[in-house]
């Protein structure tokens, strides 16, 4: 294979063409599995292919299998798009190809993470001394935070879990809300705490942990205890009542972890900050930059108030490493990875481009679009919005014209909308009821996009009535 400078310009042009197509592109995928396999498959070639040919083929063959996920009318799951400045910094991150593990290996990557960590703590109103790890996503953020929690609650019980493992340690009680995200349970599995050993606390009609139920559960817990709460329910967007939960866990000497994958960003908005009141009293917070900050994957953030517990759980030493001096940050002290991408660059660039005001406007704008969609949908006949739209999430249920099955009808509306391609969203089951789930977390979604999407949704419901 020859080096081929043209291939970079070719890729940049293809990337820009894709981004330019987003406002009008059919949002869902258009290719079938068989078509994608036929276009992309085959045996590993014996002889190589020219890089410009490879990139040209790749762009052509994946196109129909791409989803306009960074576009303005993608409302599936909780995804977020990418600001152009974030993509630009991400391109440079790949080109610079820095191993971000150690200060000695990449001083620039280490300093950029250090600076961005400070900006993020300030933006979220979290302690200035908290540890911040730049991880792959919310899953690893929660893993990292709960590893720090495991360290701290066992250290208080006189046990060194990093040296001695869990065998023989006092059992840790893990308390979760009934609406805890699936990634909490995966993290507990990775940490040897067991997904099935949790104590579950009842939630209310919006999915918020009930503090009276937490109080009752904590009264029956002995020994090392970790409580996992949530800022931003993945269906309703609701927030657990931190002003009540934080004192309860503190009094009990328990560790309080908050899954704020997207909801923690409410802290960045003066208008929405009340939703996370008290969240700063937790011990650890997991959040994502690839969701609501609109930077490309992978970008999760693990934040731990007790930086020494964070570091004790994550740091790695080896004879051949060159540890940074006390005022130099070694990024591998804060994440589960050793060698890794310098994922601080896109976050740094995006925060700098937006400023505090720009981040607040992004969050508030998405919530306003969600409210607009909810209001228009709720005003239509036989359409119900199931949740209080406090943030960016909307749950919608459709009643068929005659006395039919609303679950099946709602599912059919979701499928029809997906096929139509004006926008993309998915279904869910909320407290036993089938629902369409709309998540607005893209910087580029305009009021016109919100309206065009509502029109498409209502058109789909009429078409199958």
Ligand X SMILES: *Cc1c(COP(=O)(O)O)cnc(C)c1O
Residues that bind ligand X in the complex, under the rule CB under 6 A: 78, 137-139, 181, 183, 232, 234, 259, 261-262, 288, 300
Smallest distance from ligand X to CB 354, Å: 20
Alpha-carbon distances of 63 from 23, 128, 149, 378, rounded to whole Å: 16, 45, 44, 36
Nearer to ligand X, 113 or 288 (CB): 288
Backbone angles phi, psi at 93, to 5 degrees: -55, -45
Smallest distance from ligand X to CB 137, Å: 3
Greatest Cα pair distance in the chain = 73
CA distance 281 to 80: 27
Nearer to ligand X, 246 or 261 (CB): 261
Nearer to ligand X, 261 or 302 (CB): 261
Smallest distance from ligand X to CB 90, Å: 16
Signed CA dihedral, 35, 36, 41, 47: sign only: positive
* Peptide bond connecting 343 to the previous residue in cis, omega within 30 degrees of 0: no
E strands along 49-189, which residues?
Answer: 131-135, 173-177
**Strand, helix or coil for residue 58:** helix
Nearer to ligand X, 139 or 350 (CB): 139
Smallest distance from ligand X to CB 155, Å: 26
CA distance 313 to 324: 18
Nearer to ligand X, 261 or 385 (CB): 261
Residue of 320, 260, 250 whose CA lies nearest to 284: 260
Smallest distance from ligand X to CB 112, Å: 21
Nearer to ligand X, 262 or 443 (CB): 262
CA distance 51 to 74: 32
Instruction: Say how far residue 350 (Cα) sits from the centre of its chain.
Output: 16
């Amino acid at each position: 294979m020859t080096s081929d400078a043209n291939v970079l310009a070719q890729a940049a042009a293809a990337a820009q063409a894709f981004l330019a197509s987003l406002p009008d592109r059919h949002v869902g995928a258009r290719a079938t599995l068989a078509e994608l396999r036929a276009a992309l498959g085959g045996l590993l070639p014996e002889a190589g292919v020219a890089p410009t040919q490879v990139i040209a083929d790749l762009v052509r063959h994946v196109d129909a299998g791409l989803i306009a996920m960074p576009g303005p009318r993608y409302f599936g799951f909780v995804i977020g798009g990418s600001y152009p400045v974030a993509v630009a910094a991400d391109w440079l991150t790949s080109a610079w190809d820095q191993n971000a593990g150690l200060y000695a290996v990449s001083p620039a990557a280490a300093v950029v993470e250090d600076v961005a960590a400070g900006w993020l703590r300030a933006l979220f109103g979290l302690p200035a001394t908290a540890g911040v790890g730049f991880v792959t996503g919310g899953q690893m953020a929660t893993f990292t935070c709960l590893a720090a929690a495991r360290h701290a609650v066992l250290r208080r019980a006189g046990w060194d879990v990093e040296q001695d493992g869990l065998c023989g340690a006092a059992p840790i009680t893990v308390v979760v809300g009934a609406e805890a995200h699936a990634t909490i349970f995966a993290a507990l599995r990775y940490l040897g705490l067991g997904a099935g050993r949790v104590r579950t606390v009842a939630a209310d009609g919006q999915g918020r942990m009930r503090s009276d139920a937490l109080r009752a559960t904590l009264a029956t817990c002995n020994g090392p205890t970790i409580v996992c709460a949530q800022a931003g329910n993945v269906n309703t967007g609701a927030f657990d009542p931190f002003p009540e939960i934080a004192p309860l866990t503190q009094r009990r000497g328990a560790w309080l972890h908050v899954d704020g994958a997207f909801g923690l960003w409410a802290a960045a908005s003066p208008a929405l900050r009340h939703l996370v009141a008290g969240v700063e009293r937790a011990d650890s917070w997991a959040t994502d930059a690839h969701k609501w900050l609109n930077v490309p994957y992978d970008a999760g953030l693990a934040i731990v108030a007790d930086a020494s517990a964070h570091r004790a759980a994550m740091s790695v030493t080896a004879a051949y490493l060159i540890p940074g001096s006390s005022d130099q940050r070694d990024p591998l002290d804060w994440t589960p990875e050793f060698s890794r991408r310098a994922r601080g660059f896109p976050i740094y660039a995006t925060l700098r481009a937006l400023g505090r005001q720009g981040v607040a406007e992004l969050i508030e704008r998405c919530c306003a679009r969600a409210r607009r969609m909810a209001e228009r949908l709720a005003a239509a006949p036989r359409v119900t919005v199931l949740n209080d739209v406090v943030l960016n999430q909307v749950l919608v249920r459709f009643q068929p014209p005659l006395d039919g099955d609303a679950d099946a009808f709602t599912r059919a509306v979701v499928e029809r909308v997906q096929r139509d391609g004006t926008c993309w969203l998915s279904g869910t089951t909320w407290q036993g009821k089938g629902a369409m789930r709309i998540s607005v977390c893209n910087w580029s979604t305009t009021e016109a996009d919100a309206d065009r999407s509502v029109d498409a949704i209502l058109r789909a419901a009429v078409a199958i009535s």
